[in-house]
Amino acid sequence: MARLKVGVLISGRGTNLGALIDACADPTFPAEIALVLSNKGDAKGLARARGAGLKVAVIDHRGKARESFDAEVDAALRAAGVEFICLAGFMRLFTAAFVERWYNRILNIHPSLLPSFKGLHVHEQTLAAGVRIGGCTVHVLRFAMDTGPIVVQAAVPVLDGDTPESLADRILAAEHKIYPLALRLFAEGRARVEGDHVRISGSYEPEGALISPPA
């Protein structure tokens, strides 16, 4: 079966990109990375992409209207044969036109259990709220920031004494598991968007609950 051709968009260190690169390195994984695109030439993740021999593009957003930037990104993705987009720490918002053009074909990862704690400073928000369980979410992109049908979530305990950094590290480890999983579900045709929801076929019910603190 042909592998789904994915474009991964980054702005920074690219550890989620790394998790996707590792997943795609398995020839039985149903997706492959056709392009890694960054709006920042100094994004650390670009080195990882180049090291893996992937095609890389840098499109600087500065001094451009949002429409022009999006048109350039769209052209680069199409030129590389991209069919599906994974945003992995990509710090730009797209125009409605771009989201429409790639409707239901863009995933994003966010370090909270959406719809809680949207936007920036997510780990600070999580700690400030005093929740005992945080987590991360892969969702289908819609125009409003950090909204869209949810594909996969991971729940992660929040511990007394956590700092934004320690919590971020724990959540990031879960991000690296759920992003490849979410991509696989789409690439295998097992995830399907129905309105505001994603339906998953062929999954099973997990047992038990994550209780935090455990006792």
Q: Which residues are catalytic?
A: 110
Contact (Cβ atoms closer than 8 angstroms) between residue 125 and residue 54: no
CA atoms within 13 A on the CB side of 100: 4
**Which listed residue (31, 36, 109, 141) binds ligand GRF by CB under 6 A?**
109
Enumerate residues 6+ apart whose C-beta is below 8 A from 215. Answer: none
Helix (H, G, I), strand (E, B) or coil at 45: helix
Q: Which residue's CB atom is positioned nearest to ligand GRF?
A: 89
Q: Does 13 bind ligand GRF (CB under 6 A)?
A: yes
Which of residues 7 and 202 has its CB atom nearest to ligand GRF in the complex? 7
> Least distance in Å: CB of 204 to ligand GRF?
26
Distances (CA, A) of 33 to 8, 23, 52: 7, 10, 10
Which of residues 111 and 148 has its CB atom nearest to ligand GRF in the complex? 111
Q: Does 12 bind ligand GRF (CB under 6 A)?
A: yes
Q: Does 23 bind ligand GRF (CB under 6 A)?
A: no
> Least distance in Å: CB of 112 to ligand GRF?
9
Q: Does 175 bind ligand GRF (CB under 6 A)?
A: yes
Q: Does 16 bind ligand GRF (CB under 6 A)?
A: yes
Which residues, 120 to 159, sit near ligand GRF by CB under 6 A?
none
Which of residues 70 and 175 has its CB atom nearest to ligand GRF in the complex? 175
Q: Does 14 bind ligand GRF (CB under 6 A)?
A: yes
- Return the sign of the alpha-carbon dihedral for residues 164, 167, 168, 169: positive
Give the C-alpha separation, 58 to 43, whole Å: 9
Contact (Cβ atoms closer than 8 angstroms) between residue 140 and residue 176: no
Which residues, 35 to 94, sit near ligand GRF by CB under 6 A?
45, 88-89
Contact (Cβ atoms closer than 8 angstroms) between residue 155 and residue 133: yes
CA torsion 108→109→111→113, rounded to 10°? 80
Choices 9-17, 30-38, 159-167, 194-202 (CB under 6 A): range interacting with ligand GRF: 9-17
Q: Does 111 bind ligand GRF (CB under 6 A)?
A: yes
Contact (Cβ atoms closer than 8 angstroms) between residue 1 and residue 81: no
List residues binding ligand GRF (CB under 6 A): 10, 12-17, 45, 88-89, 109-111, 172, 175
